[in-house]
Amino acid sequence: MAMGLGCTARPGRSRENKTGSWRVFRPVFVHEKCTRCGMCTTVCPEGCIMEDEEGLPVTDYDYCKGCGLCAEECPSEAVEMTKEEK
């Protein structure tokens, strides 16, 4: 995020920091295995896993840091952590 003199910014700018760039492992959601229990959405510390109209998880990769909590907690093992390739 570009800031002004004194490292200043107006409110509402933190979304510009795409913290997803820190990610080493990317969660991939295997919808075929998903039971739509919503656990991944609940445990995501960044709040960046949403549910689509069908109740399936969708991730905002701009802010997902790849912590892997969703994969760890998924009761159906429907989240695979794959090496991030840039």
Partner 1 sequence: MLEIMEGSHAVAEAVGRCRPQVIAAYPITPQTHIVEALADMAANCEIDADYITVESEFSALSACLGASAAGSRVYSATTSQGLALMFEVCFNCAGMRLPVVMSIVNRAMGAPLSIWNDQQDSISLRDSGWLQLYAEDNQEATDLHYLAYKVAEDHRILLPSFVCFDGFILSHTYEPVDTLTQEQADSYLPPFRPYQRLDAADPVSFGLFASPDYYMEFRYAIDQALDKARSVIPEAGKEFNEMFGRDYSGLVEEYRLDDADVAIVAMGSICGTVKDAIDEMRDAGKRVGLLKIRCFRPFPHKEVRKALSGVTTVAVLDKNVSLGSRGAAALEVRDALYGSGVSVQGYIIGLGGRDVRKRDIASVVAKAEAGEGDIYYGLRQEVLR
> Toward partner 1, which CB reaches closer, 51 or 62?
62
Q: From the CB of 76, what's the least distance to partner 1, in Å? A: 35
Nearer to partner 1, 9 or 50 (CB): 9
Three-state DSSP class for residue 7: coil
Beta carbon of residue 55, minimum distance to partner 1 (angstroms, whole number): 35
* Residue 38, H or E segment: none
**What is the smallest separation between the CB atom of 23 and partner 1, expressed in angstroms?**
14
Residues binding partner 1 (CB under 8 A)? 1-11, 14, 17, 21
Q: Which residues of 22-53 are buried (b: 16+ CB within 10 A; e: fewer)?
A: ebebbbebeeeebeeeebbbeebeeebbeeee
